[in-house]
Amino acid sequence: MQSKLAASLVPIEEQPHYAFPVLVGDIGGTNARFAIIDGPNADARTLPILHTADFPTIDAAIRENVLPLLDAVPKTAILAVAGPIDGDEIDLTNAPWVVRPKVMIAELGFSDVVVINDFEAQALAVAFIDDENREKIGGRDPEAHASRLVLGPGTGLGVAGLVNARHIWIPVPGEGGHVDVGPRTARDRAIFPHLEAIGGRISAEQLLCGRGIVNIYTAIARADGRDPQARQPKEITAAALEGADAGAVETVSLFATYLGRLAGDLALVFMARGGVYIGGGIAQKIMAALKKPEFRAGFEDKAPHQALLAEIPTYVLTHPLAALSGLSTYARSPMRFGLSTDGRRWQA
């Protein structure tokens, strides 16, 4: 009775319908991942991951390395991008690509192009996730219909909420990766002056992404009076997991603490009793470090709300292509989601 009422409240003309084949794409600052869905009941077939730096434009990447692998030109493209969607030319925040849906329709042969935020796509994935695709790190069982939160360090730091209302899941995108962060402990107060302020402040993304790992590592060295070595994020996390370099070990420990603190703050904002999910490329690679006490301690240490946070479960998303899986579920059954396509859908 209740679900019939809910369905009747969603005007049918507001529920999009997509023609197959549908190409789904997750376009990050470093990696571009695609999958093709041939029909409403077909499995998504994932295509080889491309590096954005290897192609001058997204159109060249699709024309040269996606379309030749397909039996037919996709009718629909649903793309998730790391960047604000405002108009017909969508710039990626951390890469030189520009997504031009009108040009894609004219030159690549698509009839329908939808562009959403990449963490909105992660939120779609979290709506119907199962235990196989997540690893729990602390907390009680989630409340099935309570709000959820997904955040993920990658090339940048993405954040989205996921709210259940009127029996559908509504992703809430935002720029939560750019909130201010500040020092709490004496050690933080020694390290923070050595972090570069941008526009007079330190934002979460300056600590919680690939570049952020390097920033923490460098600031620790400077705080300790050492010249920092130039190292890649993956070299620092590999050295930390081997226990080979004290600066690297502390970097990953602080990264886990800072990620836990931010996740806890945002869980309070969303009252995320449905669970907090850590996506992005880095979390899966440092799972062992996130399972140590620092992450949950940072998450729960929120007086006067420690008891509330202690109950909220945190997970690492272990699906290797979570955003694509969310986009695929959405392409097949958009009516299960409250995803607005206003200003984000272009049709031939």
39-58 residues in contact with ligand ATP (CB under 6 A) are none
Residue closer to ligand ATP, measured from CB, 273 or 344:
344
Residue closer to ligand ATP, measured from CB, 33 or 296:
33
- Going from the C-alpha of 107 to that of each of 8, 68, 179, the distances in angstroms are 39, 15, 39
- Lookup result for tokens 């986009």: 327
**Interface residue with ligand ATP, options 176, 281, 313, 334 (CB under 6 A):** 281
- Buried b or exposed e, range 89-116, using 16+ CB within 10 angstroms: ebebbbbebbbbbebbbeebebebbbbb
Confirm or deny that 30 is annotated as ligand binding. Answer: yes
Residue 213 lies near ligand ATP (rule: CB under 6 A): yes
**Interface residue with ligand ATP, options 75, 178, 184, 234 (CB under 6 A):** 234
Residue 289 lies near ligand ATP (rule: CB under 6 A): no
The DSSP H or E segment spanning 239 is helix 233-242
Q: How many residues does the chain have?
A: 348
Torsion of Cα atoms, 314 then 158 then 322 then 74, to 10°: 160
- Going from the C-alpha of 203 to that of each of 176, 239, 258, the distances in angstroms are 10, 26, 11
Residue 318 lies near ligand ATP (rule: CB under 6 A): no
Q: What is the x/- site pattern for ligand ATP, positions 143-162, by CB under 6 A?
A: -----------xxx-x----
Confirm or deny that 27 is annotated as ligand binding. Answer: yes
78-97 residues in contact with ligand ATP (CB under 6 A) are 82, 94
- Lookup result for tokens 């992660």: 122
Among the listed ranges 23-31, 100-108, 120-128, 162-170, the one in contact with ligand ATP (CB under 6 A) is: 23-31
Number of H helices, E strands in the chain: 13, 15
Confirm or deny that 29 is annotated as ligand binding. Answer: yes
Torsion of Cα atoms, 129 then 312 then 156 then 168, to 10°: 40
Residue closer to ligand ATP, measured from CB, 241 or 297:
241
Footprint on this chain of ligand ATP (rule: CB under 6 A): 28-31, 82, 94, 118, 154-156, 158, 210, 213, 233-234, 237, 280-282, 285
Binding-site residue positions: 25-30
Binding-site residue positions for ATP: 25-30
